[in-house]
Structure 1
Amino acid sequence: MKNLPVLFVFLLVILSHSIIAQEAVVKGVVLDESNRPVANANVSYETSGTKTDENGVYILSIPANKDITIKISHVGLKDITFTINLQENQEYELNPVLKTEFEQISEVIITGRERKAVEGITTLDPETIRITPSANAGVEGLLKTLPGVSSNNELSTQYAVRGGNFDENLVYVNEIEVYRPFLIRSGQQEGLSFVNTDLVRNVDFSAGGFQSKYGDKLSSVLDITYRRPTRFDLSADLSLLGGSISAGGITKDKKFAGVVGVRYRDNSLLVDARQTETNFRPRFADVQTYLSYNLSKKFELGFLGNIAINRYDYEPLTRRTNFGPITDPIALTVFYDGQERDRYQTYFGALKGTYQANENLTLKLIGSAYHTQEQEYFDIFAAYFLGTVNTDIGGENLGEAEFNQGVGSQLTHARNDLDALIFNIEHKGTYIADEHQFDWGVKYTSEDIRDRIQEFEVIDSAGFSIRPPGTFVNDQPYNPNASPIVPFSSVRATNMVNIDRFSGYAQYSLRTNVKDHEIWANIGVRAHNWNVSGEGISSSSQTVFSPRAQVAIKPDWKSDMIFRLSGGWYHQPPFYRELRDLQGTVQPDVKAQQSIHIVAGNDYSFNLWKRPFKLTTELYYKKLTDVNSYTIENVRIRYRANNNAEAYAAGFDLRLNGEFVPGTESWFSLGLLKTEENLDNRGYIARPTDQRIKIGALFQDYVPTIPNLKAYLNLVYQTGVPGGSPTNADPYDFQTRLRDYRRADLGFSYIIVDNKIRRKEGSFFNNFKDLSIGFEIFNLFDNLNSITNTFVRDAASQRQFSIPNFLTQRVFNVRLGMRF
């Protein structure tokens, strides 16, 4: 990583020379309404011109310092004409979308954006993702402003959707499913999201009721498409939290293209703002690439690769937390000894072959491998004092702990190692015949998990070792206690598990007209069979079927509206974590969780202040059975692995987006949710992700007199979720909630160089396509948000207190962004 600045300067020098040597050109990719490249389109001006290749790519040289009218045309598509004036050596990228001629398809006219809308998919702009301020910037940071998506941990990239947990979300990159590490237990250990936003071309998100072509999860789908560059490009983003460099290019014959990104992140700045004083160095780095090669006009081969190395070194020193009412505050003081050293190394590679047999038939073959090696080692001793706080406003000891009413200690130990190897091979196909579309796919997955768990916790309160509940009855002094001292909790297990999976889907889509109303419908089914085996494990095999359907109508009204209804029977066959119970033992007979989804939605597009706006509303209900109940500790999910519960989730989502400020997109969202579970028929209680109210906003603005000075506000408010329970405790006895989550991140940026403005010849800034400097304030209002509770005991009253673990306070950051 130390050589990154040298590499950056070297590439900058080379690129500066290449820019000076080029002529004024217009280039880009011509697309149709389905976002597919248009081959053999004519791109011309006056008596000169060119044609797009099989990937829709064109490059056209034009005279400089002159108004040139360019026409782009293709049979069956509407022509586009525009006038442009470029300076000498300037490059201009234009990626036009050619719309279908109305007389060609008289039955249905649905634009590309409307196709996403009828499927209930939200599309996010990659550029908005890159500029939005967030402690964990990226796709996930922007998702958390959407209705139905919640997270009360800014250090984590994980998110919950409509009452589900982190393991219930599908993530695809170029149709390839990606994974995250297994042993992560806290947000500051996670590091980087798999998705590198510098490489992203398109982001689609569905919060429920999705099609059969997507996999077997209960909550959501995040579908990412990485870009195929049309020319050489280079960008860099540097900040106090780390930096990233990405580059892309394409050969002269347009057959081979690729992008590569390098990222480095150090979360020390964020962790230093927490209440626990530590020696802390969380460092994360990864290298990612997407390469594609056209072997022929019909066959393309793509490669997606990622190497990530996360190092987490943690040495806590002291902690001081005041909690309780203002009239009777209590102080927790903790002194630590020991450290934690964690390592996570993941390697991912995938090959994807796409064969365009003809205009109607597309065949794909995808193979991928994911390997993760993880270790979690720690020995941390904590001695705590629980005391009253001096509230004498005029006294010199105001705020200090004066009388200790509880003392104790805690020793935590872990030597956890995990090695997982996952292989996938999959075939997909699509056949389109006029208004009909057929999709199908089959997939085989092999999972080889080798897991060693050795962890224990010893708790001491007022000089007495605390035993696990229900294991010891104290009848001293009548009978002496001769039993050995045991840890409060202890997990020891070694698991060698193999899981073989066969899955597939088939679905049919139709778009047509009923009178003047446009109709889109989809029906499909998935099947999934899995077999669990391994050392000391009795083999178990199960099969599930998941039928799903969607229908949407766009009435022929003056108002631009789309109505949607979707639903189905969704299953989530257990992954390794869901098979492992609280004692670390693998339960091979765990069933797939089942959920019946019903989602009704409406999109209303309208103009306000002569600018476009869109109001999206959705009502949803989920009925869950064979629920694998769990507890959440920060971001680690621990399953009971017994399918002992049933549950439901019901809610309402609303999102209004549009140009509140001319030329910028902003939105406001509201989510209402209630989700409860019934364990062993004992009655319904709130699930760990019961986020009743969620309000999110993304607002962009600029100074009218200084349009290059821009501001971005990322705002989230969420009511508190259940605060969890102590180890081995009954969750029915602990239903208190965490405090409400309030978070506002504010960013300012000044655009020094804009690609639309060309400076005088010879200017240093001509080396940049874009150059900006930014200033960010995370947690603008310095709210004390909490993620979990620490439970301590009062020796005098024998009471147990839940003490919130607070997240980051206000933090300042500086960013420098550049593109060439």
Structure 2
Amino acid sequence: MILSVCARAQQAVVDGIIKNDSGKIVEGVGVIDSATQYSVRSNTKGYYMLDVPPGKSVTIFYYLPGYFLQKRTVTLNSGEIRNVNIKLRARENVLKEGVVRDKQQRNRAGDVHIELQKVNFIPDVSGGVEGLLKLMVGSHNELTSQYSVRGGNFDENLVYVNDFEIYRPFLVRQGQQEGLSFVNSDLVSNLTFSVGGFQSKYGDKMSSVLDVQYKRPAQFSGSVMASLLGANLHLEGISKNKKFTYLFGARQKSNQYVLQSQPTKGIYNPSFTDIQTLLNYRINNTWEVEAIGNYARNRFTFFPESQVSSFGVLNQAYQLDVFYNGGEFDQFDSRFGGVSASYHPDSSKLRLKFLASAFQTKEYETYDIGGEYLFGELQTDQSKKDFGQIKTYLGTGYIQNFARNYLQVGVADVGMRGSYDAKKNFFQFGANVTTTNISDNLHEWQRRDSARFNQPYNPNELVMAYFYNSSADFNYTRISAFVQDNISFDSGRINATIGVRGNYSMLNNELLISPRVNFSYKPTGKRDLIYKFSTGLYQQPPFYREMRDLAGSVNKDLKAQKSFQVVAGVDYNFNMYYRPFRITGEVYFKNLWDLDPYFYDNVRIRYTGKNDAIGRIYGGEIRLYGDIVKDATSFISIGILKGEQKVTDSAGIAGFNNYFPLPADQRFTLGMYFEDYLRQNKNFKVHINMMYATGLPVGPPSGHLYQNTLRLPDYKRVDIGFSALLLNSERKNHPAHSYFNMLHSIWASLEVFNLLSIQNTLSYTWIQDNSTNNQYAVPNRLTSRLLNVKVLFNF
């Protein structure tokens, strides 16, 4: 997919209107050039426009769930625009869009099918594309859009938008501070999500790739969405001569309503704003240029007041009461800009794309929050007058958290991509030079006072529970390149992708060579079955976060973390109860070395800054997609894994010679999305998503990683949404002067987050008993049940 924009160089154009056999326009029809695999969709008025290479015979496929596949073969001259109108014939039994549209995706091990049309309707607090991804791979925090894939952490995931690599904020500590993700679902045309075993053309990380392509508009349209959690606006259009297209998206999010449902009460004032634009201009039949821009402004202000946390069992329960003072103010501002030029000479099999981009983030995390706490055992005897109240005080004290953390990061990148089509062989190649500038000031500490004595206690000096004070200012350059060959045998039944990737860092003078191989085989016969296999090296050079150790010092000599991965799977399309279904299954193994051990601080990852661990991850996943209800696709995703590590430099500390769980060792995950509608009226729908995940490893504070032998409680959550189509443009009974004639559709939704009101635990606060010095793990819980109302206008 990384070359798909390059492949769009316009030499000739096919356009038209798509209708069904009743004469009604059909929206969302996939239109694909079988040679280049470039695809578009028909818009709200049934119109499509597809760029095709001139001077050769091109077969175009038209597909949509519920309709027979149509195809047309055309041969166009350079600069020619041909109108081809299509009438789709309905049928009862056909595979869903994502299953039919991308044969290459089915051939690649690790690729996960995502249905974009679900994004606007899935009931999820974080929303967007990531809401669907978290259902696929598992999650333990509804407040974040970050996701962990197959035992990896958040920093091991690659994200591309139109071939540009995307970065996320670095200092974000909690999901409640997190703003909007970069990917704006209103602007997305298609995406590829790989959870392992991905190709050499993708970058140097170890877990996953999300490759997003934004739309190429065919006419003016847009949408407006408003809810209790924020608002979105998007516009798209094309010039009269069809040479210039534009996309614009603006999003505003305020999760104040959600945060107020947490156990910690106070004044929350979050504000997250994101603006994006994508401009494309076709200069001539050989060249086109594209520019993408993004500005994100994130603010989080918080003045906590109180917190009451109860936990334990029926006959032994405890309660922590905290009374706060102070506050927190965070700001995260990021800017991204990129320009690309695509070159495709007439009648040539060579395509080139040149890219340049710059990313800058300025992040400020400042807080000074003190909390006076009372901790005690509750009265559990219902016959007592003080039932449910604290009967015995076990600890009192004061905890003060202070930070003045400032970070500026700048990344500049220039690169090129290319491809050459040699019939059975499709070569791809590319190179990048990336310069990174870091300026960081870290000043953070915590003071604990228990029974008027600092903890840890020292009669001669004031000792902090932890104290970080460091600064760093440096820059470095990385050079990377790849080459790969996509080979097809036996009429496409056997496919292989063989490639190698190289990376050299001028900071630590480390050269990385990563060969990768991907195979697929489709047996002969009536069954639509594909076997898949991939293997290779995946090496992740350190970015700034990995270099900074627990005390804030930067290790510039840190080497890349490395993994050898093997993935094997099967993909099977079948019919059951006269409805289409698809099942995919994969098993995988990762051998890890030169690991930089880490632990989670909410959603922030803190590293030790040393390559002193080895590890292994193995497991399996199975996913089922299908029409449990006719014409309403649902899916279920199940995953099991075991991830463990061992510190290689024990330094004489007992226990380090044994394997212990990785911080992302989530043994079992189950995600499910179900869709239904009223039989009498399909315009009224219900959407349910469910998530179950076993708890992550956890241990006492200031302990070693091998002490993380406890587990958080299992994460359980059910969200439900009800949607109704209030207006449909196909209705003809609007007055001629009606404003509704300008609208394509209006949707209204009612969402219930955390339907069962399960109090999930994100982490623990550790409180010490005054008399015995025992430590108690007090749960920090996530959000409770909430309602959300949403209205969506498409025009």
Q: Which residue of 2 aligns with 1:699?
A: 674
CA-to-aligned-CA distance 1:336-368 (integer Å, 9 cap, x gap): 110000001000001111111344111011111
Q: Which residue of 1 aligns with 2:33?
A: 32
CA-to-aligned-CA distance 1:104-131 (integer Å, 9 cap, x gap): xxxxxx9752211101322322221121
SS state at 2:294 partner? strand
Instruction: Write the distance in 2 (CA, Å) between the matches of 1:395 and 1:563.
Output: 66
Structure-2 change in CA distance of 1:679 and 1:52 (3 Å): closer
Question: Retained in 1: the 8 A contact 2:520–2:533?
Answer: yes
Deviation at 1:52, TM superposition (A): 6.5
Q: Which residue of 1 aligns with 2:128?
A: 138
Instruction: Write the distance in 2 (CA, Å) between the matches of 1:797 and 1:82.
Output: 79
1:492 is the counterpart of 2:451: no
Q: Which residue of 1 aligns with 2:418?
A: 429
1:305 is the counterpart of 2:306: no
Q: Which residue of 2 aligns with 1:622?
A: 590
Structure-2 change in CA distance of 1:719 and 1:180 (3 Å): same
1:653 is the counterpart of 2:617: no
Instruction: Write the distance in 2 (CA, Å) between the matches of 1:71 and 1:645.
Output: 55
Instruction: Write the distance in 2 (CA, Å) between the matches of 1:775 and 1:636.
Output: 32
Q: Using the TM superposition, name which of 157-166 and 654-663 deviates more.
A: 654-663
5 Å matches for 1:402-421? Answer: 402-421=391-410
Instruction: Write the distance in 2 (CA, Å) between the matches of 1:50 and 1:81.
Output: 9
1:203 is the counterpart of 2:178: no
1:122 is the counterpart of 2:112: yes
Question: Retained in 2: the 8 A contact 1:124–1:202?
Answer: no
SS state at 2:710 partner? coil
Instruction: Write the distance in 2 (CA, Å) between the matches of 1:71 and 1:551.
Output: 28
CA-to-aligned-CA distance 1:306-344 (integer Å, 9 cap, x gap): 000000001111000011111110001111110000001
5 Å matches for 1:353-502? Answer: 353-357=341-345, 358-467=347-456, 481=459, 483-502=460-479
Deviation at 1:467, TM superposition (A): 2.8
Q: Using the TM superposition, name which of 392-401 and 431-440 deviates more.
A: 392-401
- Given residue 525 of structure 1, which amino acid in structure 2 is its aligned partner? V
Q: Which residue of 1 aligns with 2:541?
A: 573
Instruction: Write the distance in 2 (CA, Å) between the matches of 1:739 and 1:30.
Output: 47
Q: Using the TM superposition, name which of 618-627 and 675-684 deviates more.
A: 675-684
Structure-2 change in CA distance of 1:423 and 1:548 (3 Å): same
Structure-2 change in CA distance of 1:675 and 1:71 (3 Å): closer
Q: Which residue of 1 aligns with 2:102?
A: 113
5 Å matches for 1:47-62? Answer: none
SS state at 1:711 partner? strand
Q: Which residue of 2 aligns with 1:12?
A: none
Query: Which of the numbers 195, 205, 211 marks the counterpart of 1:223?
Result: 211
Deviation at 1:734, TM superposition (A): 3.4
5 Å matches for 1:78-97? Answer: 82-83=86-87
Deviation at 1:761, TM superposition (A): 3.9
SS state at 2:131 partner? helix
5 Å matches for 1:336-351? Answer: 336-351=324-339
Deviation at 1:240, TM superposition (A): 0.2
Unmatched runs of 5 consecutive residues or more in structure 1: 1-23, 40-48, 57-69, 86-98, 100-109, 473-480, 533-539
- Given residue 129 of structure 1, which amino acid in structure 2 is its aligned partner? V
Q: Which residue of 2 aligns with 1:730?
A: 704
Q: Which residue of 2 aligns with 1:743?
A: 717
How high is the sequence identity, in percent, across the aligned residues? 38
Deviation at 1:84, TM superposition (A): 8.7
Structure-2 change in CA distance of 1:605 and 1:730 (3 Å): same
Instruction: Write the distance in 1 (CA, Å) between the matches of 2:568 and 2:88.
Output: 45
Structure-2 change in CA distance of 1:761 and 1:182 (3 Å): same
Instruction: Write the distance in 1 (CA, Å) between the matches of 2:186 and 2:510.
Output: 41
1:508 is the counterpart of 2:485: yes
Question: Retained in 1: the 8 A contact 2:729–2:741?
Answer: no
- Given residue 170 of structure 1, which amino acid in structure 2 is its aligned partner? L
1:170 is the counterpart of 2:158: yes
Q: Which residue of 2 aligns with 1:668?
A: 636
Structure-2 change in CA distance of 1:37 and 1:642 (3 Å): closer
SS state at 1:116 partner? helix
Q: Which residue of 1 aligns with 2:284?
A: 296
Instruction: Write the distance in 1 (CA, Å) between the matches of 2:243 and 2:48.
Output: 17
Query: Which of the numbers 295, 314, 320 marks the counterpart of 1:326?
Result: 314
Deviation at 1:403, TM superposition (A): 2.2
Structure-2 change in CA distance of 1:34 and 1:687 (3 Å): farther
Deviation at 1:159, TM superposition (A): 0.5
Deviation at 1:50, TM superposition (A): 12
Question: Retained in 2: the 8 A contact 1:71–1:82?
Answer: no
Question: Retained in 2: the 8 A contact 1:554–1:562?
Answer: yes
Question: Retained in 2: the 8 A contact 1:467–1:487?
Answer: yes
Query: Which of the numbers 211, 230, 249 marks the counterpart of 2:237?
Result: 249
Q: Which residue of 1 aligns with 2:10?
A: none
Instruction: Write the distance in 2 (CA, Å) between the matches of 1:648 and 1:339.
Output: 42
Instruction: Write the distance in 2 (CA, Å) between the matches of 1:517 and 1:233.
Output: 38
SS state at 1:142 partner? helix
CA-to-aligned-CA distance 1:481-533 (integer Å, 9 cap, x gap): 4x3212121000110021210001111110111xx78100011111111122x
5 Å matches for 1:635-650? Answer: 635-650=603-618
Instruction: Write the distance in 1 (CA, Å) between the matches of 2:216 and 2:195.
Output: 27
- Given residue 34 of structure 2, which amino acid in structure 1 is its aligned partner? E
- Given residue 664 of structure 1, which amino acid in structure 2 is its aligned partner? A
1:817 is the counterpart of 2:792: yes
Instruction: Write the distance in 1 (CA, Å) between the matches of 2:776 and 2:189.
Output: 49
Deviation at 1:766, TM superposition (A): 2.3
CA-to-aligned-CA distance 1:51-102 (integer Å, 9 cap, x gap): 966699xxxxxxxxxxxxx9955149xx9874499xxxxxxxxxxxxx9xxx
Deviation at 1:737, TM superposition (A): 0.4
Question: Retained in 1: the 8 A contact 2:223–2:235?
Answer: yes
Deviation at 1:398, TM superposition (A): 3.0
Instruction: Write the distance in 1 (CA, Å) between the matches of 2:592 and 2:306.
Output: 43
Instruction: Write the distance in 2 (CA, Å) between the matches of 1:383 and 1:51.
Output: 64
TM-score, reference length from structure 2: 0.88
Deviation at 1:757, TM superposition (A): 3.7
Instruction: Write the distance in 1 (CA, Å) between the matches of 2:49 and 2:368.
Output: 66
SS state at 1:409 partner? strand
Unmatched runs of 5 consecutive residues or more in structure 2: 1-23, 41-46, 55-69, 77-82, 90-96, 649-655
Query: How many matched pairs?
Result: 727
SS state at 2:155 partner? helix
Structure-2 change in CA distance of 1:52 and 1:530 (3 Å): closer
- Given residue 477 of structure 2, which amino acid in structure 1 is its aligned partner? D
Question: Retained in 1: the 8 A contact 2:497–2:517?
Answer: yes
Q: Which residue of 2 aligns with 1:582?
A: 550
1:518 is the counterpart of 2:516: no
Deviation at 1:731, TM superposition (A): 2.6
Question: Retained in 1: the 8 A contact 2:219–2:237?
Answer: yes
